[in-house]
Amino acid sequence: METLFFLIISLVAIVSAILVVTLKNPINSALSLIMTFFCLATYYVMLDAPFMAAVQVMVYAGAIMVLMVFTIMLLNIRVDASKKHSHKLILGSIIGFFTFLNAFFVIYRSRAALPTGPYSGEMIKSVGHTELVGREIFTNFLLPFEVTSILLLVAIIGAVILAKKKI
């Protein structure tokens, strides 16, 4: 049952990912990308990580893609369907083929079953995924967490300075 579900979601993810690069209209491409993000969130749910799934939808599908759609709308890129785009098909397919080969070998050669660690499905269910993530972030990974927040703060201040004409 879970395999069937996985296959359906994967099919949707792959089809929408292909549509992102093949559709002519940039807004429709953006919609397909949102669909792909949604499928990724579904994978997180299947891996017992509901917090990651919610954050994936909220941050990627909800915030970043809204900005992208905004940009596309404001730049008003209108593509006429008659115009044929040459994306250097042969070059692209060669690069794609080798990337695929690369990914295939990485997955094939690596061990599929990694050491499990202290977190089992039952433990996540009884303690709660959000609680576990929070505990790890604020104890073992406190320094990386704080460094990331300083990085984000710098980005925010940078955006304000760039957007303001007179400071």
Instruction: Tell me if 68 contacts another protein by CB under 8 A.
Output: no
Rounded distance between C-alpha atoms, residue 25 and residue 23, angstroms: 6
Compute the CA torsion angle 12, 15, 21, 22 (nearest 10 deg).
Answer: -140
157 makes contact with another protein (CB under 8 A):
no
Interaction between residue 57 and another protein (CB under 8 A): yes
19 is a site residue for another protein (CB under 8 A)? no
Instruction: Please identify, among the stretches 83-91, 92-100, 124-132, 137-145, the one whose residues bind another protein according to the rule CB under 8 A.
Output: 124-132
Cβ 134 vs Cβ 126: under 8 Å: no
**83-102 positions binding another protein, by CB under 8 A:** none
Cα–Cα distance measured from residue 29 to residue 71, given in angstroms and rounded to the nearest whole number: 13
Q: Is 90 helix (H, G, I), strand (E, B) or coil?
A: helix
Which residues bind to another protein, rule: CB under 8 A? 1, 25, 27-28, 31, 34, 50-51, 53-55, 57-58, 61-63, 65-66, 69-70, 73, 125-126, 128-131
